[in-house]
Amino acid sequence: MSSKSNTSDPIWEHTEESEEQRSRLEEMIAPGTASDPNVESEENATVTIDGRSITLEAGATLLDGLEQMNTEGYVPALCSYDHEEKIGPRSECRTCMVETDEHGVVPSCSFPAEEGMTVHTDADAAAEARDVNLDLLLGNHNLRCTTCGKNGRCELQNVSIENGVEEPRYGVFDDREEYEPIDDSSAFIQIDRNKCILCNRCVEACNDVQVAGVLRMEGSGSDTRIGFQNTEETMMESTCVSCGHCVTVCPTGALVEQGLVDSSTIPLPGFTHKNSIGKIAGEDYTGQARTMTPMIQDQYTENEPVVEVVNRRAGTGTDTHQEADD
Amino acid sequence: MADDDILGADPAIRVSSGGPNRSGGRELLSAAHEAASETAVAEVGSTGVPALEPLVLATADGESAFFSRCPPERVGSIVETLEAGELPTEGVMAVVKHEPGTSRLPRPANGPLSVGTRTVLGTCGWAVPTSPEDYPADGFIASEIGDSNEAIAQVAEAKLRGRGRGDAAADVPIADRWELAREAAGEAAIVINANEADRRATTDRVLLESAPLAVLDGALAAGRALDATNILVYCNEADELAQERAAEAAAVLEDELEEGISIEVLAGPDEYKAGEATMAIEALEGNHRLEARLRPPYPSEEGLHGRPTLVHTPRTLVQVGEILADGDSSSSEGSSATGTRLFSVASEGDVSGDDETSAPTTVELAAEEDLATAREAIEFDGHLKAACVGGVFGGLTRTLDVPARANALRAAGLGTNGVIELFGEEECMVAFAGNRAVFGEEENCGRCVPCREGTQQLTNLLREVYHGEYESEGIRELLRVMDTTSICSFGRDASRPTRTAIEAFETEFRAHANGRCPAGVCK
Ligand code: SF4
Ligand code: SF4
Ligand code: SF4
Ligand code: FES
C-alpha cells in the first residue's frame, strides 16, 4: 500500500502481464480487509525518542525511528513488517505501543512521525499495554513449540523470550476440543491456524505483492481466520500457485513449507507436529501430484457487498468512486 | 405516497407512528381518510414516544386533542366530532391549547411529551416528514450557505461536538474535522451514518423518520460549506421506514434546491459493528466483509475512496442545522451553544425493541439539564439501583445527577451514545457485565488483539468470578489496555460496562466469588 515499487515481483510477471491486466486483477481481488489510509509521514520529521532526537525521512512511522536506536523499553512490534515491501502496517497486535506527549499511547508501527513529537518507550501505560497484548496473543496460541516447524525461527517465540514472558497472564490455548484441524492438503504448504496471530502478512503477500488473490481474511470476532477467496476449505482446493511468498512472511508456525514441518522440532519419539493437535484436514491429498490451478476464478460466491442501494438519484454530482488526487 | 402538508390546516387529523408501530398507524390513517370529508388528514412521523403510538392528533381552532394508542374503530367518531365543529375529547390523553398553525408539536403538561425540551424534536410527530411546505418557515438552511469560512466559523464558535458512536467526530469539536477535510486533496463526501443496530439507541432513527428534511438539510449545508459532491445516507437494513423517508427527502431537496450534490440512500447490515464510522465507509465502498480502518489520518482527510469524508450522525447534523439557522445571532450565550442531546430511555427488560410497547422513549435534554430529568419520561416504579448510560457499551451509575454534556458524561465514566437504561433492585451487576462482555466477544470485527482477544479473556475472567476467583487488578489491567489500545471505538467502549460495574458495585463481584448473588438472579 505504501511504495508501489515492484522490486519483489518475479521478473516474468512483467513480461506476461501489462499494467492494465494487473489492475484488472487487483479489482477482482477480495481480501476482506479494510482499505487503510496512508499512515506514513508526509514530510521529514525530527522526533525525540527516550530523550534522544532523530530525524526521519518522509514516509516514516514512529517505529522506523524506534528501530534505529536502543530504546529504554523493549518494543516487540510483532505484527509489523517492512512497509517498503507492500506489506503492512496491519497494526493489529498492539505490541508496539509507545507513549507520546502529544497523542498519549499510540501504536508506533502505524503512527505517522510528526515533527517535534516526543516518544517514551518505557512509560508505564505503554509497557503495560505491550505486555498485556502479547499475553493476549499467547492466550489464543497453541504454544507447543517443541513440535513446531518454526521452532527457533519464530518471531512470536523470539519476542516472547525477549519480553521475558514466563507465564502468560491468560495461559495458552490448550483445549484439544477446540483446535482447528491442520490443513495438510497441499503438497507444499501446511496451515496450522492454531498458531496464526492474524497479522495478515500472508494475505497481503498473496494479494498485494503476488496479486495471486488466493488468501483472504474471513469471519469476525473469535471466528476470524485466514481463508481462501474461492471460498473452498483447503489449500488444495484453493487457487494457490505455490509461490511460497505467504510462508516467507509468516511470523509463526501457522504457515510452514511441507518439507520443513518437522525439521526444527525437538525429536521426541512418536511426537510430531501433526499429532500434536490430532486433527488433520486433507490428508488424502498428500502425495498427490499438485496441478496448477487458475489464478483467479471467474466467480466468487461470498464476495457480495454488504451494502444495498435503496435509492440513487442521478443528481448532478459526481460518482463517489473517484481518485482523491485527480 | 406521503401526504402533501398539514401545517396550518384546520380542522386537521394527524396520525403519528414510526418504526415498530407503523403498521398500526397506517390502519388508523386509512380509517381517517375514509371518514374525513373536509378535514385534512396526514401521516406524520413518530413523536419519539412509541409508548403513545399510534397517536391520533385532532386539531381545531388552536386546540389539539391527543389520543394515544388509538383503536381503529375510534377514528371514525373522532373525525365525525371534529367535522361537527367540536374538539373530540372522549378517551382523550390530553388537550393542549396552542397558537393556530404552529410549526411545532404542542406539548401536553404531563407525560413523556412534557419531559425535557423539544428543540430538534420540535416538528417530530407534527409536520409531514417529507413536505417542504411543512419545513420551518425560514426555508432550507443549505440554500443560505454561501461562504464556507463563515459556516465553519459558526460551527467552531458553537463548539459543536459529534453526537453518538457512529459519528467520526464523536465527542470532539466537529469544526476541527471540517478544517482537515477542507485542506485535504480531493472532492469531499458526506456520510450520514444512521446505521445503529443497538435497539436501545433509537434517536437517529427517530430523526430520520420524523424530520428527514432537517437531517438532510444539515448535511447539504455541511456539503456546501466544504464543496462536497456526494452525500450518502447510510441506514440500517432493518429500518425500512427511515430508508423510505430519507429517499423521499433526498428527492424533495434535489427538486427544491437544484443542488449540485448528489444524494444516495444505502442500507448496511443490521450489525452493531457496521455502525462504527470507518466500517460504515468500508460498507459503502462495497466491501463484503467489515473491519475498522486505522486512524489517524481520520476519514475527514482520507475516507470514502480516499476522499475527504465527513461521517456524522443525524443527531449531529440537526445540530449543525440549528447553529447555521441561528446564523448571525453570534451573541449565542456560552454553554447552551453546545446544543441539546437526545436520549433513548427505557427500563431494563424493555429494550428488545421489536415489541412496539417497549421501544425506548426519546427525550431531549439541554446541556445544563441532568439526566435525572429523563427518568420522568418513562414509568419506572421502585428504587433505581443503577442506570446504564450509553447503550450496550454504556457505563453504570448509581446517580442520574449528571449534566447532559459530553464532557460531563465522560468524566462520570459514562457513554455518550444517547441511551439511558434504568435498572431496579432485581438486576445483577455481574451478570450485566458478563452479558455485555459476551456481546463484545461475539460482535467485534476481529481485527485487533485488545478487542478480539481482550473481550474473550474478559469473558473468561468474569466467568471465573462465578468459580470463586475475582481478580480485581487483573480485570482492571485488561480493561485499561482494551481502552487505550483498541483500533476503534468498539474495543474501547467494550471495556466500559465492566469497568463501571466494578467501580460502583464491587461488593457484588466479591459476593459472587463467595457463591452468592445479592440480586438473587444468578444460580
Ligand atoms: S503460496 Fe499460494 S497462498 Fe501463498 S502467496 Fe503464493 S499463491 Fe498465495
Ligand atoms: S498465517 Fe501467518 S502470516 Fe498469515 S495471518 Fe496467520 S500468522 Fe500472519
Ligand atoms: S476494536 Fe474491535 S471492532 Fe475495532 S478494530 Fe479492533 S477488533 Fe475490530
Ligand atoms: S506491530 Fe504495531 S500493532 Fe503490531
- Domain ranges across chain B: 12-114, 149-326, 429-513
Q: Which residues share a beta bridge with B387?
A: B397, B422
Interval A20-41 mean pLDDT: 78
Q: Is the pLDDT of residue B515 over 70?
A: yes
Q: Are B355 and B380 in contact (CB under 8 A)?
A: no
Strands B386-389 and B63-67, bridge-based pairing: unpaired
Q: Which of A240, A295, A296 to mutate to test the pocket of ligand 1 (most atoms within 8 A of CB)?
A: A240
A271 in a domain, yes or no?
yes
For residues B43-55, average pLDDT = 96
pLDDT of B142: 87
**CB of B226 within 8 A of CB of B311?**
no
Q: Is the pLDDT of residue B114 over 70?
A: yes
- Residue ranges of B 294-313 with Cβ closer than 8 A to chain A: 294-297, 301-302, 304-308
Q: A232-252: b or e for each residue (b if 16 or more CB lie within 10 Å)?
A: eebbbbbbbbbbebbbebbbb
Ligand 4: distance of its center to the CA of A70 in Å? 18
Cβ of residue A108 closer than 8 Å to a chain B Cβ: no
The CATH number of B12-114 is which of 3.40.50.2300, 3.40.640.10, 1.10.490.10, 3.40.30.10? 3.40.30.10
Give the side-chain half-sphere CA count within 13 A for A324. Answer: 18
B219 touches chain A (CB under 8 A): no
Q: Nearest CA to B16 among B51, A67, B247, B1?
A: B51
- DSSP string of A120-131? ESS-HHHHHHHH
Of A78, A112, A135, the residue that ends a domain is: A135
- Distance from C-alpha of A168 to C-alpha of B449, rounded to nearest angstrom: 15
Band of residue B326 on the pLDDT scale cut at 50, 70, 90:
confident
Q: How far is B297 from chain A (nearest CA, A)?
A: 6
Contacts of A188 (CB under 8 A, 6+ apart): A242, A244, A257, A258, A290
Q: Using 50, 70 and 90 to split pLDDT, how confident is the model at A114?
A: very high
Q: For cell 429523563, name the residue.
A: B374
Ligand 1 mean position, distance from CA A244 (Å): 5
Minimal-distance CA residue to ligand 3 atom 6: B448
Q: Which of B228, B230, B218, B142 is nearest to B182 (CA)?
A: B228
Q: Compute chain A's Rg from CA coordinates.
A: 21
Instruction: Give B367: exposed, middle or buried? Use CB within 10 Å, 0-12, 13-18, 19+.
Output: middle
The single residue listed with the C-alpha cell 501433526 is A274
Contact A229, A213 (CB under 8 A): yes
Residue A13, domain member (yes or no)? no
With a cut of 90, say whether residue A69 has pLDDT above it. Answer: yes
* CB contact (8 A) between residue B186 and residue A140: no
Is residue B412 classed as helix, strand or coil in its secondary structure?
coil
Residue among B438, B393, B400 at smallest CA distance from B422: B400
Q: What is the pLDDT of residues B201-256, one digit of tens each?
A: 999 999 999 999 999 999 999 999 999 999 999 999 999 999 999 999 999 998 88
Q: What is the DSSP code (8-state) at residue B97?
A: E
Look up the CATH number of the domain holding residue A104: 3.10.20.740
DSSP-H helix ranges across chain A: 11-16, 19-28, 62-66, 124-139, 155-162, 201-204, 245-249, 273-277
Residue of B nearest to A33 (CA): B291
Query: B25 CB less than 6 Å from ligand 3?
Result: no
Higher pLDDT, A289 or B448: B448
* Structural Rg of chain B based on CA atoms: 23
A193 and A106 together in one domain: no
Identify the residues whose C-beta falls under 6 Å from ligand 1.
A 189, 205-206, 210, 212, 214-215, 240-246
Which whole number is the average pLDDT over A295-318? Answer: 64
Residue A128 has pLDDT above 70, yes or no: yes
What's the A13 CA to ligand 1 centre distance in angstroms?
A: 15
- Shortest Cα distance from B299 to chain A (angstroms)? 8
Which of A33, A94, A173 has the highest number of chain B CBs within 10 A, making it the mutation to test binding with B?
Answer: A94
> B149-326: what fold?
Rossmann fold (3.40.50)
Number of structural domains found in chain A: 2
Looking at the CA of A198, which ligand is closest? 2
Asked if B473 reaches chain A (Cβ–Cβ under 8 Å), the answer is no
How many Å apart are CA B361 and CA B373, to the nearest integer?
13
User: Any residues with Cβ below 6 Å from ligand 4, and which?
Assistant: A 77-80, 91-96, 107, 109
Report in angstroms the alpha-carbon separations of B305 from A208, A244, B170, B281. 18, 31, 22, 9
Gap between the Cα atoms of A144 and A273, Å rounded: 9
β B262-268/A308-312 pair status: antiparallel
Chains A–B, number of C-beta pairs less than 8 Å apart: 229
Task: Write out the residue range of the structural domain in which residue A103 sits.
Answer: 45-135
- Give tens-digit pLDDT for A269-305: 555 666 666 677 765 544 443 333 444 444 455 678 8
Q: Residue A268 pLDDT > 60, yes or no?
A: no
Q: Is B469 on the interface with A (CB under 8 A)?
A: no
pLDDT in tens, B494-511: 999 999 999 999 999 999
Interface test with A, best of B257, B270, B300, B449 (most A CBs within 10 A): B449
Ligand 1 centroid to Cα of residue A11, in Å, is 17
Q: Minimal CA–CA distance to B287: which of A300, A233, A235?
A: A300
Region A51-74: what's the mean pLDDT? 96
Closest CA of chain B from A285, distance in Å: 30
The whole-angstrom separation of Cα B105 and Cα A226 is: 54
Whether the pLDDT of residue A316 is over 50: the answer is no
User: What residues form DSSP beta bridges with B341?
Assistant: B365
- Identify the CATH assignment for B429-513 out of 3.50.50.60, 1.20.1440.230, 3.30.365.10, 3.40.50.300: 1.20.1440.230
Residue in chain A closest to B195 (alpha carbons) equals A307
Question: How far are the Cα atoms of A170, B56, B99, B322 from residue B93, in angstroms, in the given order?
Answer: 58, 10, 20, 31
In a domain? residue A111: yes
Contact B474 A306 (CB under 8 A): no
Residue in B302, B460, B478 closest to A37 by CB: B302
Helices (H), B341-415: 372-375, 406-411
CATH code for the domain of A204: 3.30.70.20
- pTM here? 0.91
State if residue B488 touches ligand 3 by the CB under 6 angstroms criterion.
yes
Chain A 66-85, residues with CB within 8 Å of chain B CB atoms = none
pLDDT over 70, % of chain B = 95
- Picking from A118, A135, A152, the residue at the C-terminal end of a domain is A135
| Backbone phi, psi, residue A18, to 5° | -80, 165
What distance, in Å, lies between the first and last C-alpha atoms of chain B? 54
Q: Which residues of A263-272 are buried (b: 16+ CB within 10 A; e: fewer)?
A: ebbeeeeeee
A114 and A186 within one domain: no
